[in-house]
Chain A
Amino acid sequence: MSLDQLYQQIILDHSKARHGSGLAGIAAPEGASTGQSHQLNPVCGDEVTLRVAVEDGKVAQISWDGAGCSISMASASVLSELAEGMSVAELHEVIGKFREVLRSRGKIHADPEILGDAAAFEGVARYAARVKCAMISWVAAEDALNQAS
């Protein structure tokens, strides 16, 4: 497994683009119910604060603030793009799939049909120490969803 399979171009791009970042500057859609979660990785100090806005059973918006490595920042960026427009149930399912792939130590392949750009994180599963980096924003989203719905 080469380093380039871990740091795929799509991950490096997202780590700089950071879609959905800037929590304070982005207002939640009016009338939407929101949930917010703060997650911290005590090993490296990476952290993410993520807010989910739900409207009519669908994810209207994900916005977040965070500091961390390229994997954690890219993962939050991909998630916020991917989740918008999904139903709450769909997002829960996608989070479940993502977790399954990442915890599989490389045994379960990511389905791009379901995971979209997030399938690029498949390579992270082979680096046990980095799984938390990729998961941190998804754990925050799961927690925030439970509060919003």
Chain B
Amino acid sequence: MAVVSTPATLERALPAMDNAEVLRIRNDFPVLDQFVNGRPLVYLDSGATSQNPVSVIEAEQEFYEQRNAAVHRGAHYLAVEATEVFEDARQTVADFIGADFAETVWTSNATEGLNLISYALSNAALWAAQGRGDARLKDLAVGPGDQIVVTEMEHHANLIPWQELAFRTGATLRYIPVDDSGALRMDLAPDILGERTKVLAFTHASNVLGTINPVQELVSLGRKVGALVVLDACQSAPHLPLAVKELDVDFAVLSGHKMLAPTGIGVLYGKQEFLDVLPPFLTGGSMITTVTMERAEYLQAPQRFEAGTQRISQAVALAAAVNYLAETGLERVHRWESDLGQRMVAGLESIPGIRVLGPAAGLDRIGLAAFDVDGVHAHDVGQFLDAQGIAVRVGHHCAQPLHRRLGLTATTRASAYLYNTTDDVDAFLDAVAGVRSYFRV
């Protein structure tokens, strides 16, 4: 059942993706085959949530039709079957992100993964203070006077858990600012991190700007000061080859629903040396060794962080999604989407009154573009596009501080995936070109 990613050498030998291949891919996605407001649906909101191929929908259905049972308990046939596919799914996803089996923890989504880390770190302080657990917890614990560093471009999910960690522990939250183009001020970063920096958390790819951040440079800055490095891979894992161990980050999170899987399943990657000693976030069934009326001892990772009955069918479906992506080849997907992103930006920049956020045309970006239309609010832009069957995201995209920094409150964002053609992008561009005249700006 486990399919590993297409080896890079083989993938390079495959031809680049083209519209003909994308049209075949689209046949696997039933939801895309419909009319909205009398027009064929053009779905350009995969940055918010992606659609599911038939193989993913069937994997979940097959689980319920043939194998449904609680995992890791019971000796009956179904329980064994369910446990097997559940753990096979973990191996498939671990291989896909370049992690080891025991370092791959199921969560509901990336948001839960980030909260899990932040609570484990404040719990570490509580444990260390009472001499509980491993001696290394003293080094991991976040406390008064420590620093947590994020960036100004973070999604709220990679900002608020750290604000709250700072609040709980008395640590200080600092951030690496962005410049007017939205790029990280890497020149300032070395002075923002310091000896007391315990955590450096940043996004791999920005959900608003489309930039891919310099992970290696950031990791080495984090290493210099002995900080834990946390990578938000929500917008990268679905779209480009990700190898968390190669990147040498300490933790990484992703959401399944952004990568062809259903909602309710995500992954936390953590280096085993940390996962095995950090205190749990949620406690309860399935994550313990011995329980008395007074206290409990906990299993090692991954079960240590998987309290309660797990999202079994969703995990199986995520493995099916990952197989779908691996079979297509993420390097190929990445190149196709980069081209779509470039097409969006070049097209948008040629329309009067449009300001595209993030890197200019020709510079690296993933397959998305957020933009402001002079004189027309993003909600009106989104409504206008919807009337033509085009689905985009409007608002602050869960990045209020970044929008404020760029002098905006809301923008419109188009985000592509492997099932989008150049025709989709062109239909979107044609529609955007009509926005300002419709609203008489």
Residues of A within 8 A of B (CB): 2-3, 6-7, 12, 16, 43-46, 67-71, 127, 130, 133
Contact = CB atoms under 8 A, between A and B. Distances in A.
A44 B380 contact: no
A6 B440 contact: no
B383 interface: yes
Interface string B427-441: 000000000001110
19 contacts: A3-B383, A3-B384, A3-B438, A6-B383, A7-B383, A7-B439, A12-B440, A16-B440, A43-B395, A44-B377, A44-B379, A44-B396, A45-B395, A45-B396, A45-B400, A45-B403, A45-B410, A70-B376, A130-B379
Interface string B400-441: 100100000110000000000000000000000000001110
A142 B437 CA distance: 35
Closest 7 CB pairs of A and B: A69-B377, A69-B379, A45-B409, A3-B387, A44-B395, A70-B380, A69-B380
Contacts, number: 49
B394 interface: yes
B378 interface: yes
B394 A44 contact: yes
A127 B394 CA distance: 15
Contacts of B409: 44-46, 67
Contacts of B377: 44, 46, 68-70
A93 B378 CA distance: 32
Contacts of B384: 3
Contacts of A2: 387
A130 B377 CA distance: 13
Interface size class for chain B?
A: 10 to 19
Mostly, the A contact residues are: mixed
Contacts of B400: 45
Interface in B347-381: 376-380
Contacts of B439: 7, 12, 70
Nearest to B403: A45
Given A43-B395, A70-B377, A71-B379, 20 more contacts: A2-B387, A3-B384, A3-B387, A6-B383, A7-B383, A7-B439, A16-B440, A44-B394, A44-B409, A44-B410, A45-B395, A45-B396, A45-B403, A46-B377, A46-B379, A67-B409, A69-B377, A69-B378, A69-B379, A70-B376
B371 to A, nearest CB: 16
B378 A44 contact: yes
A26 to B, nearest CB: 23
Nearest to A73: B377
Contacts of B438: 3, 7
B390 to A, nearest CB: 12
A7 B379 CA distance: 12
Contacts of A16: 440
Contacts of B383: 3, 6-7, 127, 130
Nearest to B375: A16
Nearest to A43: B395
B164 to A, nearest CB: 18
Contacts of A46: 377, 379, 409-410
B185 to A, nearest CB: 25
Nearest to A13: B440
A110 to B, nearest CB: 20
Nearest to B384: A3
B315 to A, nearest CB: 31
Contacts of A130: 379, 383
Contacts of A44: 377-379, 394-396, 409-410
B384 to A, nearest CB: 7
Contacts of A127: 383
Contacts of B376: 70
Contacts of A71: 379-380
B342 to A, nearest CB: 28
A3 B376 CA distance: 15
A68 B410 CA distance: 9
B337 to A, nearest CB: 27
Nearest to B388: A3
Interface in B12-31: none
A69 B384 CA distance: 12
Contacts of B380: 7, 69-71
B154 to A, nearest CB: 17
A45 B377 CA distance: 11
Nearest to A133: B379
A43 B382 CA distance: 14
Nearest to B395: A44
A5 to B, nearest CB: 10
Nearest to B404: A45
A2 to B, nearest CB: 7
A44 B398 CA distance: 10
